[in-house]
Amino acid sequence: MLGSYTALLPYVQERYFANHAVMSATDKLHKLYATDIQPIVWARSVGVEVLNELDSVKAGIMMAAGAQGRNKTGAATSAGWNFAGDMVETVATTVKTAGFLKDVVGNAFGTVLKNISKTA
């Protein structure tokens, strides 16, 4: 019967991982934008500006979020999903590396300031 639990079960199983990926991304974005810690706000602002300037990355993220392109006949296309996934992974790795570099530079700068204050 149309609309019955057994008729809808394959759809639920097929969409499980995609739905959880969207929920996970939404949860991470909520946590990112719910904080007012200045280094996180700064990193978030820089990240948004960088994404805004990189059209191919922005398009990849939009496709990963469900935006679909159209071919010449107007039919929806799904090209670019792998590209979008690769770009999101690249951005995540870049953000992680930037955080690591910030810690290293911050620690080095703090050590220099501490040494200067000891000699003064």
Q: Which two tokens stand for residue 112?
A: 């220099």
Q: Which two tokens stand for residue 120?
A: 């003064």
- Phi/psi for 69 (5° steps) reads -80, 170
Greater confidence (42 vs 104) lies with 42
Query: Which sequence spans correspond to the domains of the chain?
Result: 1-34, 38-119
Greater confidence (15 vs 64) lies with 15
Residue 89 pLDDT > 80: no
Greater confidence (16 vs 12) lies with 16
Q: What is the pLDDT of residues 43-79, one digit of tens each?
A: 999 988 888 888 888 888 777 777 665 555 555 555 5
Could you tell me the pLDDT band of residue 31, with boundaries at 50, 70 and 90? very high
Task: Give the per-residue pLDDT at 113.
Answer: 63
